[in-house]
Amino acid sequence: MLQIGSIRENPQWAIDGLKKRNFPLPDETIARVLDLDRNRRELQAESDNILAVANNKAKEIGSLMKAGEKAAAEKAREETAALKSRTKELESLLKDAENALFDELVKIPNIPHASVPFGKSADDNEVVANWGEVPALPENALPHWELIKKLDIIDFELGNKITGAGFPVYKGKGARLQRAMISFFLDQAVLAGYTEIQPPLLVNADSGFATGQLPDKEGQMYEATADSLFLIPTAEVPITNLYRDVIVAEDQLPIRNVGHTPCFRREAGSWGAHVRGLNRLHQFDKVEIVQVQQPENSYEALDQMVAHVGGLLQKLQLPYRILRLCGGDMGFTSAITYDFEVWSSAQERWLECSSVSNFETYQSNRLKLRYRVDGKTQLLHTLNGSALALPRILAALLENNQLADGTIRLPEVLVPYTGFDRLS
């Protein structure tokens, strides 16, 4: 959530940022927010003034009584009672004003960083880096959903029977390869200085609100309605919420955490080849890296996180590209996002496998996540990134590493984790 002080100090910054996001009627929105803020502050000032007068009159009553001026004391009591009555009215008005301002602020997305390009959709995203050579496949190469059947490592029909579409069953070497990738990604993050966290897979509404999933994305989340809990769409939600309502000691910064979880998303897209097989699922595994940083260090940390994800893909020998998302394609809470896409040779298209984002103070304002600077509290910056999401990585590994004899060669870095170097 944006800080009202930032909007008040520079409303044009907010308007320009919302225009970059193609947010409807940004001028009217910011004007409405400023009017609500002005009303709230006027009510607060009136309430503070009346309370000060009432306190002075209360002291005056005692002095008048001691001086034997009962009539004057009684008049002061009546005036004090009237002031207190008005104070109660103002308390109610102030609460309504605060709620109205809050309700308006939560509808406003984060302001994009200056480097975020203008644009309306994914077509306007900016390619900022490429790595690797697109492999030449044998003539009998297959897309991963055909390879999965041939190798008998994932069963979509069993998952559909047990739960429904988008919930695959990994088995045999497929299950072992999943576990190998998870362990590899976790180990690499720990070596990079991240602390491993194993968080809950369900969160309450306060947690969903704090990281921005609620009220923006409730339609994409599975809900345990009897307990008012939500299955997590990403480990970002519970890991970041470890620090909700926390004032972090400066010597504990920066905070770097990593966690592996299953992720659950109701919205799995439309039908077609682009969502076949592992391309889009309702349940999938992902390793997430999360950082809490001092504001002046957060963009250096973002660069480090981008480099970390790139390093994983290079070790897996997967060709990839990095996109800087345009204003119209960014998530609601992000100030800047870099997407990683791996090349799927059999499908001949790019598959998104990671998003790395800096949220600046947007999440921390909701979280009330702060630290002290010269005795005053200040909001921290939060960042996160997929390192990595498994399904499309597995799809690319299977498709890109097909050999003429029909076997799949695994990257060397995974062999110590799998115990085998080929799938056949």
pLDDT in tens, 235-288: 999 999 999 999 999 999 999 999 999 999 997 554 455 678 999 999 999 999
Q: The tokens 């590994």 sit on which residue? A: 397
Domains along the chain with CATH numbers: 4-105 (1.10.287.40), 122-423 (3.30.930.10)
Contact predicate 54/85, CB 8 Å: no
What is the rounded CA–CA span in Å between residue 3 and residue 315? 41
Joined together, the tokens standing for residue 386 give 């997929």
User: Which pLDDT tens digits describe the chain residue by residue (424 residues)?
Assistant: 999 999 999 999 999 999 999 999 999 999 999 999 999 999 999 998 888 877 776 767 667 666 666 667 667 677 777 778 888 889 999 999 999 999 999 999 999 999 999 999 999 999 999 999 999 999 989 999 999 999 999 999 999 999 999 999 999 999 999 999 999 999 999 999 999 999 999 999 999 999 999 987 778 999 999 999 999 999 999 999 999 999 999 999 999 999 999 999 997 554 455 678 999 999 999 999 999 999 999 999 999 999 999 999 999 999 999 999 999 999 999 999 999 999 999 899 999 999 999 999 999 999 999 999 988 999 999 999 999 999 999 999 999 999 999 999 999 999 999 999 999 9
Instruction: Reply yes or no: is the peptide bond before residue 388 cis, omega within 30 of 0.
Output: yes
Write down the pLDDT at residue 270: 47
Taking CB atoms within 8 Å and a gap of at least 24, the contacts of 416-423 are 417/179, 417/180, 417/181, 417/183, 417/184, 418/173, 418/176, 418/177, 418/180, 419/176, 420/173, 423/151, 423/153, 423/173, 423/177, 423/398
Cα distance between residue 324 and residue 340, in whole Å: 9
Write down the pTM of the prediction.
Answer: 0.93
Spacing of C-alpha 348 from chain mean position: 30
Cα end-to-end distance, the chain, whole Å: 51
